[in-house]
Amino acid sequence: MSRKTLLFVIVGALAVIAAGLSLYILRPRPTHLTGDAWDYTLLPNEVADGWKLRSQGIITPHDLTQESLETNTNLTQSVSLLNMTQLYYAAYQPPEQSLYFDLTLQVILYAAEAEAAAAFAPENPGVEWEPVAVAQVGDEGRAWRYLNPDPTLNQNIYRIDFRFLNGIASVTMLGATEALPNLDEPLAYARLIHQKMLTHPTPGELQRLERAHRPDLRAALLTQTQLVQVDDYLGGRWQMDSRLLPGWTATAAFNPESQSTLQRLGRVTGYQMFLVKALSQAEQTHNFPAGLFQQVTLYGQADAAGEALGYMVGLEQFPEREPSSKVGDEARAWSGLLESTTNAGVKITVAVTEIDFRVGTYIGSIRLQTRPLTPAELADGQASNEQLALTLAQRLAANFLTQSEGG
């Protein structure tokens, strides 16, 4: 090799190293996971072809205090949930006629890295599992293989657990030996979760708020503790709806015409959450509210937020009415009885109320729906629903006021 060629090689190598260093400088190692636990999960299009999401759910510290919380056998029980802030779990179903049987995962977030490390340190699935050597995942990781009690069973179960910063993730996979001869496949899924934590530790919409020097909108929403205070019949049973996970509502997600209007009004971002009230059939007879939607949206200026409030469509099935009491700086309301037919052909009637309101630069919404009402319950059910929706909206407005004063 000539000196000239060697010089080009050295310069080229140095350029590659410099590029790598510049990327590292631009994206330093994160120090904290600030997203929701489900921000780091595997999505249906990220698992192998044919796998379908069978179930998913969220567990909060409040949920753990409720005796009615259903035990999910897919949860990794060996991890301490002390000081955890969110737990997300999901189960995937393999294709029909597949040699795979199951794929489950969970992501747990803690308030601080030290708390996650303390929870992870003693983790061990039990004597039924043997440790398996595994390449490092995250800050610390472990892997196990299940010891089949029947040696003739032609199947394997592998589990990969790892911690990264203040998060812990676990992936477990079950399949026939031919399909799952080693832990490579669940390890690949674990690495994908870790990659999301590493490259997107903070949601883009939260970054947008931080750049605008505004607080996290999630802190403005009604908490489960506040719902207990407002809903006097088993209010502790309100849980996040696993069918519609809470999430950010970016302006870019709207249609082009709406985007243009929202950008003109200086919309920053929003966040929404659906909740359901988990009651037994017997408990439902003494209860009307069944579904709750709440959202918060932030604008740059109060007058723009007021204009945006005027564009909101509410419940188009019913005429708009004035709220029976003051909510925030200004508010709009809709309420009525909504009839529908189930897949089984059964006609049902529910009461629905929506209140949209403004507090300074914040826009909020409460939509409350009852369980199906009998003909004798229609009047009381609608009146009760309207009153609780109003109380919830007023409490949410108080949160916005506190948020704006603190921000």
Q: What are phi and psi of 174, to 5 degrees?
A: -125, 135
Distance, CA of 298 to CA of 354 (rounded, Å): 19
What pLDDT sits at residue 149?
Answer: 84
List, in order of start, the domains of the chain with CATH numbers: 37-199 (3.40.1000.70), 204-406 (3.40.1000)
CB 284 within 8 A of CB 371: yes
What pLDDT sits at residue 77?
Answer: 60
**What stretches in the chain show pLDDT beneath 70?**
1-26, 68-78, 407
Is the model's pTM score more than 0.85?
A: yes
What pLDDT sits at residue 16?
Answer: 39
What pLDDT sits at residue 60?
Answer: 96
pLDDT single digits (tens) 345-402 = 899 999 999 999 999 999 999 999 999 999 999 999 999 999 999 999 999 999 999 9
What pLDDT sits at residue 22?
Answer: 45
What pLDDT sits at residue 14?
Answer: 42
Q: From residue 35, how far is each of 63, 108, 164, 198, 210 by CA, in Å?
A: 20, 11, 13, 12, 13
pLDDT single digits (tens) 4-44 = 433 343 344 444 344 444 444 567 899 999 999 999 999 99
CA 100 distance to own-chain centroid:
27
